[in-house]
Amino acid sequence: AELLAMHHPVLKRDFHRRVLEGTVLQYRLRDDEQKGKGPMVVCIDVSSSMQGDKEMWSKAVALTLMDIARRQRRLFRAVMFSSGDVSLKVLDLNRERRYAPDLNKVVEMAEYFPGGGTDFETPIDAAVELLGEKKLKRGDIVIITDGESQVSPDWLTRLRERKDQLDFSIFAVLVDVGSAETSSLAQFADRITSVKRISDEHARDIFLHVQS
């Protein structure tokens, strides 16, 4: 609507003035679009400790992030994990229709639950490898978990080196419905929130920061 002013000799000058002042109607929208640049790689804990309400919360948060990615035309990858390589499942939800998620993949993400122990290192390494691909560069990692696992100092050192190389952030959503632990997450996550804190304000905080 603002561009219509470009066809009027007087309003055109006023339009240019307001562009410089940042007061045109679409100014804030264009600014927000620039923030949401990168893909999302979301690691979802599907270990035995997540069974029940924790699983439902983790899948709900993942589906919310997926919908945000769709609306912002961002690529979305899900890394489902428990312990080791056997249970690891990487889902490309945009393969066929790019930004519109493949419904079969969404159902697979919602239903997949192998159980077992918890290993943070393998899924984070897989997520970092995805960010190394050309089409997924400038992305960020989100991990959704109850936090009940440990990581080694050597792995943390390698992860920090990769973060410097690829320039990404790691965001954690702690599923604190029941027992939960933050000590390991605090070692490698740049920002942590929890499902009990996801009011409108806290949800906006984590979801906006993951757009950088």
Q: Which two tokens stand for residue 54?
A: 């924790």
We report the CATH number of the domain holding residue 85 as: 3.40.50.410
What does pTM read for this prediction? 0.77
Does residue 189 share a domain with residue 167? yes
Place of tokens 């996550």: 189
Q: Are residues 20 and 94 in the same domain?
A: no
Q: What is the pLDDT of residue 185?
A: 94
Q: How far apart are CA 146 and CA 47, in angstroms?
A: 10
30 and 48 belong to one structural domain: no
CA dist., res. 210 & res. 139, Å (int): 9
For residue range 17-69, list pLDDT tens digits in order.
766 666 665 544 344 443 445 899 999 999 999 999 999 999 999 998 988 88
Whether residue 64 sits in one domain with residue 132: yes
Same domain, 99 and 168: yes
Do residues 63 and 23 share a domain? no
Residues 175 and 193 in one domain: yes
* Judgement on whether residues 188 and 117 belong to the same structural domain of the protein: yes
Could you tell me if 120 and 175 lie in one domain? Answer: yes
**pLDDT one-digit tens code per residue, 143-192:** 999 998 999 999 999 999 999 999 999 999 999 988 888 999 999 999 99
3-class secondary structure, 205:
helix
**What is the tens place of the pLDDT at every residue in 59-102?**
999 998 988 888 888 899 999 999 977 889 999 988 765 778 88
Q: Is 8 helix (H, G, I), strand (E, B) or coil?
A: coil
Q: Max alpha carbon distance in the chain (Å)?
A: 69
From the list 91, 95, 94, 85, the residue with the least C-alpha distance to 112 is: 91
Give the strand pairing for 76-81 and 89-92.
antiparallel
Residue 66: C-alpha distances to residues 22, 62, 167 (Å): 31, 6, 22
9 and 107, same domain (yes or no): no
Residues 84 and 143 in one domain: yes
Q: Are residues 67 and 83 in the same domain?
A: yes
Domain around 8: 1-35
Query: Which residues fall within 8 angstroms of residue 208, CB to CB, at 6 or more apart?
Result: 35
Question: What is the tally of structural domains in the chain?
Answer: 2
Q: Which two tokens stand for residue 109?
A: 């993400």
* Backbone torsion region of residue 207, taken as left when φ is above 0, otherwise alpha when ψ lies between -120 and 50, otherwise beta: alpha
